[in-house]
Every structure is written in C-alpha cells, then in structure tokens.
Amino acid sequence: MIGFVNFVEFLILVALGLMALGIQGWALSDCVRTTAADFERVGKRTKTFWTAVLAGSVFFGFLYVIVPVTTLTVPPLGMGMIFCLAGVTAAGVYLADVRPVLAEVRGRGRGRGQQNRGSSW
C-alpha cells in the first residue's frame, strides 16, 4: 500500500513539475522572440533581465523534473520545490504583467481599437 501511495505522489509531483516547466518555457520563448526595443518602449525591465530570470526559472524547473524521473524517486519537497515555485512565479509575473503590454506594442492583443468595445463575443 505504501508503494502505491509513493507512486501516486511521484506521478502528481512530476506532473505538476512538467506543467510548471511548460509555463516557464512558454514565458522564456516569448521573451526571446521579443525585441529589446519593445521592452524599452513599454518601460519594463530590460530584455536581458527577463531573459536571465526566465532562463534560471527554466533551469530549476528542468532540474526539479529530471532528477526524480531519472532516479524514479519522489521529488523532494525541499529547496528544489522552492526554486521551482519561485521560477514559475517569475514566469507568471512575466506572462501576466509584461507580456500583455508587449503584445500591445507589437500590435497583437487587445491594444488595437478594442479597448472600449468589451468582449468580442
């Protein structure tokens, strides 16, 4: 019975780690595709800053997933998880705060004539 519980815990933590890694990778890929001039235009931190933060985020997210998968043990709930959570938080800040403003500057999103029209539905 304990073996089954450990297996379920392993699957849940690895699945959550993979979801976090996906979010971190999405944020990093969006940041890399955006020009440095766009970051300067919107008055957010520089592209170098966000690229470094998000690359570190992806690195720690990858470590959190790859170590338990290669050793087939339950991921530790210590510093690895804290770094992974910090990384997904940084990616969430980028995706929720910086990306929408950058999308308006790039001409995508709700920035082009749709401010006061409400929903597109």
Dump pLDDT digits (tens) for 65-108. Answer: 998 888 877 776 788 889 999 999 999 999 999 999 999 988 86
- Which DSSP symbol is given to 110? G
- pTM, two decimal places: 0.81
What helix, strand, coil percent values describe the chain, rounded to 5? 80, 0, 20
CB 36 within 8 A of CB 47: yes
Return the C-alpha torsion angle 87, 96, 16, 69, nearest 10. Answer: -40
Dump pLDDT digits (tens) for 38-54. Answer: 999 998 899 999 999 99
Give the confidence band of 55 by pLDDT, cuts at 50, 70, 90.
Answer: very high
Dump pLDDT digits (tens) for 102-119. Answer: 999 888 665 444 555 555
